[in-house]
Each structure stands twice: as structure tokens, then as C-alpha cells.
Chain A
Amino acid sequence: MELRLSQRILTGIGLLLLILWSIGPIYWAIATSFTPTPDLMSQPIHFFPEHLTLNHYQRLAGFGTVASNDVTVAAQFRNALVNSVITALAATIVSIFLASLGGYAFARLEFPGRQTIFFIVIATIAIPGYTVLIPLYRLMVSLKLLDTYLGVTLIYLSAFLPLALWLMRSVFQQLPLSIEEAARIDGAGRMTILFRIVMPLAAPGLVAASIITFLGAWGQYMVPLIFSPTKTKPLTVLIPEFSTKNFVDYGLINAAGTIAMIVPILIVIFLNRYLVSGLTAGSVK
């Protein structure tokens, strides 16, 4: 539709405001992470850094250390980064593996209790995590799985599996049945059809479900706060700990935050098409 000039200007201003609102805080985090600490504590504040420094990142990486506690900061940060990657990847792989097999079963195979089981699994999305965290905590303590990768992965699985299953089922339902039928006439078994024909066709859906699960696990806070207190502590739990009661090291916090943002930002830049399709699956008929 053609817009009048005044309307086009209004739309342009609106879009500009929307963009500023969306990336303003991200810009501010990145700018802060490159600003020397004395500049951060000066008034009036500068909207663009006057001097640039890599000091905060150097302290996180552990070279060019000056203060004695920087060694611990670097070690903690490295561990947390590794933990975040391992737990988010493990949660994604296990969830998507189970959800894609199950999604196919719920979409295509007739078996007793199909509808009921699916409904119950999906209904658990509405159960707030905290209702199950206390018994899960006691369960993990008794199984000695507290602060282990396996324990955290299992809890992430219970949290992210329902949504992944829902996405994967709707992906399989949208695939044309005729291809599978043709393969069956040629004598292919169900598993051959699933892995050779259906999975490749469902690849965009698999990517979408994987991205959403990964981002969910990458950004989780309250689960690791309870289940990953020390050895398996991820970035999300470590970063807030950088602020103590007396002194908040904003340069360091924003540098660590920026690193935690890089993976999601890359995903949005390169895989946004899949992300959007996953987010809107099921919401529009």
C-alpha cells in the first residue's frame, strides 16, 4: 500500500525508535565493556566512550593480570563459559533427539493413549518450574547428581522437552503424507522412512526447535542457581556474582555479559528465519 509522505515519515520515526529501544541497552553494555573503569565513574557520563580499553576482557581471559584476585576471576570465568556451552549443548541434543522421535510418533503413528499422553506432556508447560524444583532438588541430592552435568541436563530436559515436542509434532504434521506413502509402497520400513526421508525434510523444523531449546538453556538462571552451585556453574550464575555489596565492577560485568550475549546475537543474525518460524509455529493456523 502506498503511504502519504507524512505517514512514511511517521513510520520511519517509529521504526527508528523501535530499533533504538531494542539495541540501545546492548550498545550500552558493549560500550561499557570497552571503557576504562575511571571513565565509568565520571560525571557527566559519555554516551560514546572517550577512551577504549581491552582491560576488562584481559582480566576475564587471564592475561596481563594486575590484581591478585584476577587469577581467580579468569579461572572462574573460563569454567563458567565451558559449563554454559556443555550444559546448553547437552540439553539441546538430548531434548531434540527425544522430541523428534516422539514428535514423529505423536504425529504419524496410531498407538493407545496417544492423545492423552500428548496433552499431559504439553500441559506441563504451564506448571511453574518452582513447583517441581524442591522435590527435584531432594531427588538430585539422593541420587548424588547435584552439581553434575547429568543432573542439570536431566532438569533442562524436563523443562524444554514439552515445547520441543510440540514444535516437532507440528513440523511432522505439516509434511506431505504422500511422500511417506510412496516410500512405504516401495517397501521401506518405518525407521528407514523416518531417518532417510522424513528427518531431512524436517531439517528446518529441527533447526528451529534446536535454536529455541539452546537459547532457553543458555539463558537459564533459576535452575543452575539451585542445581549448579559450584563445579558446573554457568555464566548466568557467575556474572551477577561479580557484583559485591561494596563495589560493583561494571566494566567486568558488562564484558562478561557481552561475551554471554555473543552466541545469541550470532544465532539471531544467521538463523533468524528458523527462529521466527519456530516462535510462530502453532500460534497461527
Chain B
Amino acid sequence: MSLAAAAVPARRKGDKGIDGSADARLGLMLAAPIVIAMLSLVLFPVASTLWDSLHRVNPMMAGQPFIGLQHYRDLLVDPVVNESWRNTVVYVVICVVLETAGGIAAALLINQAGRWRRYVLAIVILPWALPGVVNAVVWGWIYNPAFGLLNGLLVAAGLDFEKFVWFNDRTIALFAVSLVHVWRMLPLTAVIVLAALQSIPSDLYEAGRIDGATRRRMFFYITLPLIRGGIAVAMTQSTVAAFNFFDEAWILTGSARGTRPILVQVYLEAFQNLHFSYGMALSVLVMIASLTVSLVYVLRVQRVTRLD
């Protein structure tokens, strides 16, 4: 034993030069495919999007003249685009609030489920694992005015919802569409918060009890501060996901302007109107907005977790 222990540092020291450069070569070799894939499939396209957004690229029109920031100027005053931005902000707010509140509540409940915890957790995760499009199609059927489950339940409960159309009123439609997204994304928040809950040492609660703290006080002074980091991570996920909202909105309400999120607007501009570079300019703005929001969160999360 002692011989081996003495041999280790000596050997490592002696080999360090050779080992180090061999490691570097191997490291570069293993990372190279990833670098090549990301360069050609993400970073080059992003650069090309930035470049093309300064030109007029339209498969229906000859030539690709340089037009500077014209697209960006047009986008700022485009009423349809502005309406989509507003919708996206509404989606982000509704989804983040509902997913965070619902996810924390779900995590607290699952944490109390005792020996059923594993099974409840599996059931709660299910919606997240399903394809968003399939969820949207199923919920579209649930929202069906004449034969849908939702109106059926409300009528059975004695409420006047016979043939109520959920997508006529804009505010209700925004909520109805958001709810489908919340149904899919809430499990992620619940799982992250649950993991944070389970990492709290139980002797903290013991100590709290000995000191005569009530459950409510223990929640606010022990639980909440210790799951703050987890909540922040979950909120980042919710925000980015709601920003990239597409599937459910496109399936449930198609191109309807009142519920059209910004990514549906990009899709329509680029792939239906074939205004390639105008769509690209808009997608650049979406990217900047999304990166900014993520960055703000990441910085905040870092501060919060450092406080922990």
C-alpha cells in the first residue's frame, strides 16, 4: 500500500508533460464532432440569419439587394407583429405564474404522499412526456363546444356552458391555449421543486419543531428559502418554453391573430408568405429577447444560489 501510494505522485509527475498533450489531443478529437455540428448547424445559420436580415431575400423576387435595417424599422411599426409580441408576453406571464404556483403546490403534495410518492410522481410527469401536438389535438376535442369534455363537466355541474365556444373571446382564448401549455410544462417545475424539497435535511424541521415553530412558520422560514434556487431554475425553464410557444397555439387556433404567438408569426412570414429575410429579421429579435430573458434569469439564479 505505502509503496503504491508513494509511486502515484512520482509517476504522475514524470508523465505529466506527455500525458497532458496526449489528453489535449484526445480531448480535441472527442469534442471536434460537436464543434463541427454546432458550427455548421447552429452558429453558421445564426450568422447567416443576421446577414440575410439586412437583405431582401424572397424566393418570389429576383436578386437579394442590401437594404440595411429596413426590415427592423418595418417590424417595429408592423401592427400584426406588435400584436403577436403582446400575445407572447401574455402567454409568458400566464404560463410562468400558473406553472410556478401549480408546480410548487404539486411538489409539496407529492412530497406528502408517503409510500405512494413514486406512483403519484410518475402520473404527474406523464403530460410532459407526451408530444405537445397530440396534447393540443386532445385538448381541442376537450374544448369542443358541442361534444367536449369541459362543457360536459360544467353542464353536469349545473352551469350554463352548453355549446360555449372557448375560442371566441380573445382573453378566454389566450387562457384556454395557455392552459394546454401549462398542462404539459407544469410537471417540469414540480419535478425540479420536488428535488429541491427532498434535498432539505430533515433535522432542520426537527429543530424547528423543538423550538415550537408552527408548520406555517417552518414553511416560510425553512422550506421556502431552501427551495428558492430550484424555483428560479424552474422559472427559467418556464419562461424560455413559453417564449418558444408554437405547437399548441398553431394546432388550437392556427393563424388567428388574437392568439398568435411571435413564433407562429415568424413561421407565417417565412414559410407561408415566403418573406424569408423579413421572417429572419423577426427571428433575430426573438432570439435577442429570449437570450436577454435567459441571461437575466441566469444571473439572478447565480445570485440566489450563492446566497444559499
**Complex Cα spacing A218 to B128, Å:** 12
Across the interface, which residues of A come within 8 angstroms of B294, CB to CB? 126
Q: CB-CB contacts of B101-136 with A at 8 A, as 1s and 0s?
A: 000011001101100101011111111011111111
Q: CB-CB contacts of A243-285 with B at 8 A, as 1s and 0s?
A: 1000000100110010011001101110010011001100111
| Interface 9-mer from B31-39, B65-73, B75-83, B168-176 | B31-39
| Any A CB within 8 A of the CB of B225 | no
Across the interface, which residues of A come within 8 angstroms of B124, CB to CB? 18-19, 22
Q: Given B37, B106, B153, B286, which contacts A18 in the complex, CB threshold below 8 Å? A: B106
Could you list 17 examples of A-B contacts with CB < 8 Å?
Answer: A1-B209, A18-B109, A19-B124, A22-B123, A25-B183, A41-B146, A110-B20, A114-B27, A124-B38, A127-B42, A131-B284, A131-B286, A139-B45, A154-B41, A158-B37, A185-B8, A280-B195
Contact across chains for A129 and B155 when beta carbons are under 8 A apart: no
User: Residues on A close to B: CB < 8 A?
Assistant: 1, 3, 11, 14-15, 18-19, 21-26, 28-29, 32, 40-45, 47, 98-99, 101-102, 104-106, 109-112, 114, 117, 120-121, 123-139, 154-155, 157-158, 161-162, 165, 181, 185, 190-191, 215, 218-222, 226, 235-237, 239-240, 243, 250, 253-254, 257, 260-261, 264-265, 267-269, 272, 275-276, 279-280, 283-285
Closest residue of chain B to A95 (Cβ to Cβ) is: B37
Contact across chains for A128 and B112 when beta carbons are under 8 A apart: no
User: With contacts A110-B23, A127-B46, A221-B247 known, is A161 near B125, CB below 8 A?
Assistant: no
Contact across chains for A275 and B141 when beta carbons are under 8 A apart: no
User: Residues on B close to A: CB < 8 A?
Assistant: 4, 7-8, 11, 20, 22-28, 30-31, 33-35, 37-38, 41-46, 48-49, 52, 105-106, 109-110, 112-113, 116, 118, 120-127, 129-139, 141-142, 144, 146-149, 152-153, 155-156, 183, 187-188, 191-192, 195-196, 199, 205, 209, 229-230, 233-234, 240, 243-244, 246-247, 250-251, 263, 266-267, 270-271, 276, 279-280, 283-284, 286-287, 290-291, 294-295, 305, 308
Across the interface, which residues of A come within 8 angstroms of B155, CB to CB? 44
User: With contacts A128-B287, A279-B188 known, is A236 near B134, CB below 8 A?
Assistant: yes
User: With contacts A28-B138, A257-B134 known, is A132 near B112, CB below 8 A?
Assistant: no
User: With contacts A158-B38, A253-B137 known, is A1 near B48, CB below 8 A?
Assistant: no
Contact across chains for B34 and A165 when beta carbons are under 8 A apart: yes
Contact across chains for A219 and B133 when beta carbons are under 8 A apart: yes
**Complex Cα spacing A275 to B251, Å:** 27
Contact across chains for B234 and A111 when beta carbons are under 8 A apart: no
Across the interface, which residues of B come within 8 angstroms of A280, CB to CB? 191-192, 195
Contact across chains for B24 and A110 when beta carbons are under 8 A apart: yes
Contact across chains for A269 and B122 when beta carbons are under 8 A apart: yes
Q: How far is the CB of A60 from chain B (nearest CB, A)?
A: 14
**Complex Cα spacing A121 to B32, Å:** 12
Contact across chains for B38 and A19 when beta carbons are under 8 A apart: no
Q: How far is the CB of A41 from chain B (nearest CB, A)?
A: 6
Q: Given A110, A191, A284, which contacts B230 in the complex, CB threshold below 8 Å? A: A284
Q: Given B45, B132, B156, which contacts A219 in the complex, CB threshold below 8 Å? A: B132
Closest residue of chain B to A226 (Cβ to Cβ) is: B271
**Complex Cα spacing A9 to B305, Å:** 35
